[in-house]
Amino acid sequence: MTQFSSDNPARAHRFSLANDGSGLEELSGWRAYPRVQQPTWPDEQELATVFDALRAAPPLVFAGEVDVLRSRIAAAASGEAFLLAGGDCAETFADATADRISAKIRTILQMAAVLTYGASVPVVKMGRMAGQYAKPRSSDEETRDGITLPTYRGDAVNSFEFTQESRRPDPQRLWRMYTTSAHTLNLLRAFTGGGFADLREVHSWNRGFAATPAYKRFERLAEEIDKAIRFMDAIGADFDALKVVEFYSSHEALLLDYEEALARIDSRTGEVYGCSGHFLWIGERTRQLDGAHVDFMSRLRNPIGVKLGPTATVDDALALIDRLDPDREPGRLTFVTRMGADRIRDRLPALVEGVRDAGARVAWMTDPMHGNTITSSNGYKTRRFDAILDEVVGFFEVHRELGTVPAGLHMELTGDDVTEVLGGTDHIDEAALEKRYETLVDPRLNHQQSLELAFLVAEMIAATSPSRPS
Ligand code: PEP
Ligand code: MN
């Protein structure tokens, strides 16, 4: 969701959609392919009713915004910008409150401010927000004390509570996903367009963070940024213009019924856009070349991400490029690697080289979360801060060695003071996990850990990237 300046490209776009959805028939081609990770909806008729309601509802994002984001990602792929995506593993309806949403936006803006300074390029801000309500799961069922129920697949599908009724997939939840995404986007657009994102304000929050005793080591970087802002002020930079920032929404396009229902045709060009969010990605578990997700996403005009885990081969990557980015269009395709800290230095180089040598121009992002998930001795699904940081460092090292571009970071984080990830300067230990472990799926960096990571990465980029254009 972007606040555009006067030449708002979104204005040039009108979506056409007859009530019967005509023009979008081809989009349902995915239904002929094997589909994985889809709920078994108990009532197909109810699903069809919700589908029709979603299809008749206004789009959540607009083609012009999506096109601008594609151009921003193209800039990141060539080193002229840097992507920062962050948010919950799984958003929940209950947590779509003003306080929690604003804390998340604030955290991402704070991280972006330091990364902008470190990288000396614009940071493209994306929330894993306003649509991240569906989760792929390793098992269809969960057993507790001898009782087996369908697994929790995210608030878009069922409820976390372990009862027969709660775990039953309910298509009405797709409607709630739409309305909750709309509420979240509304707040996001208001915050990022209404002064909340003022760089001076964001920097003063960061100064507060860097001045706390535990994070004293970042004070120097905060002072440098301070100096840069005073310099901008002195030369007459228009800070009022900087109050308005572009901020995009992204989520895993997992539930294809929902994604299809929210696709719209841009009447200017006749092209099809997924209008549930600006950037949509295919997960590690749903990227089968001959599967429904790849087919569906190949038909959309949005910038698309694909997660690549440690088993991904160069051939997999090249075949995905052929399916999803046959024209080799800059900004169209982003590979989000999630290898694990202990594997990234082994696995990433061949992929990056293979893709580069084939002439494809994808953006490479690192997701340092999903390859580093462990279980603590007291039974929590967690991650170590150091492993997360190490995967980011490895990602930059690999690209530096190859002379290729590390285009961005994809993080699971929250703006709240949860205790879900081990370590960081606050030394969250296994016992502390019990204090405030709130995630329903994967552990997130809390507010402090997110900022700490951003400062560490900014320091590293500033110290080691002579090749970045300044
Ligand atoms: C996720 O991003 O929450 C996720 C499930 O990731 P992956 O597809 O990489 O496992
Ligand atoms: Mn996750």
Give CA torsion, residues 395, 400, 401, 407, to 10 deg: 50
Tell me phi and psi for residue 211, to 5 degrees: -85, -15
Verify whether ligand 1 is closer than 6 Å to residue 310 (CB atom).
Answer: no
Per DSSP, the residues of 309-349 read -TT--HHHHHHHHHHH-TT--TTTEEEEE---TTTHHHHHH
Verify whether ligand 1 is closer than 6 Å to residue 122 (CB atom).
Answer: no
pLDDT value of position 13: 57
Verify whether ligand 1 is closer than 6 Å to residue 170 (CB atom).
Answer: no
What does pTM read for this prediction? 0.95
Q: Say how many Å lie between the CA of residue 90 and the centre of ligand 2.
A: 7
Verify whether ligand 1 is closer than 6 Å to residue 338 (CB atom).
Answer: yes
In angstroms, the CA 196 to CA 178 distance is 25
Q: Whose CA is nearest to atom 10 of ligand 1?
A: 284
Buried b (16+ CB within 10 A) or exposed e, 47-86: beebbeebbeeebbbbbbbbbbbbebbbbbbebebbbbbb
Which atom belonging to ligand 1 lies closest to the Cα atom of 283?
Answer: 8
pLDDT value of position 4: 35
pLDDT value of position 41: 96
C-alpha closest to that of 121 among 192, 86, 72, 64:
72
Per DSSP, the residues of 401-434 read HHT--EEEEEEEB-SS----SBBTTTTB-TGGGG
Estimate the crossing angle of helix 219-234 against helix 98-119, to 10 degrees: 80
Q: Say how many Å lie between the CA of residue 268 and the centre of ligand 1.
A: 34
pLDDT value of position 470: 43
Which atom belonging to ligand 1 lies closest to the Cα atom of 132?
Answer: 3
E strand intervals along 60-159: 82-87, 123-127, 141-144, 147-150
Q: List, as ranges, residues with CB under 5 A of the ion ligand 2.
A: 89, 442
Q: Say how many Å lie between the CA of residue 89 and the centre of ligand 2.
A: 4
pLDDT value of position 465: 64
Considering only CA atoms, give the Rg of the chain: 21
Burial of 9 (0-12, 13-18, 19+ CB in 10 A): middle
Q: Say how many Å lie between the CA of residue 373 and the centre of ligand 2.
A: 9
Q: Which domains does the chain have, with CATH numbers?
A: 20-467 (3.20.20.70)
Structure tokens at 172: 């009405």
pLDDT value of position 64: 96
pLDDT value of position 466: 58
Start-end of H helices in 235-332: 256-261, 292-298, 314-324
Buried b (16+ CB within 10 A) or exposed e, 297-331: bbbbbbbbbbbbbbebeeebbbebbebbbeeeebb
Which atom belonging to ligand 1 lies closest to the Cα atom of 441?
Answer: 3
pLDDT in tens, the chain (470 residues): 333 333 444 444 566 655 566 789 999 999 999 999 999 999 999 999 999 999 999 999 999 999 999 999 999 999 999 999 999 999 999 999 999 999 999 999 999 999 999 999 999 999 999 999 999 999 999 999 999 999 999 999 999 999 999 999 999 999 999 999 999 999 999 999 988 899 999 999 999 999 999 999 999 999 999 999 999 999 999 998 888 999 999 999 999 999 999 999 998 889 999 999 999 999 999 999 999 999 999 999 999 999 999 999 999 999 999 999 999 999 999 999 999 999 999 999 999 999 999 999 999 999 999 999 999 999 999 999 999 999 999 999 999 999 999 999 999 999 999 999 999 999 999 999 999 999 999 999 999 999 999 999 999 998 876 554 44
Residues in the chain: 470
Q: Say how many Å lie between the CA of residue 136 and the centre of ligand 1.
A: 8
* pLDDT tens profile 349-387: 999 999 999 999 999 999 999 999 999 999 999 999 999
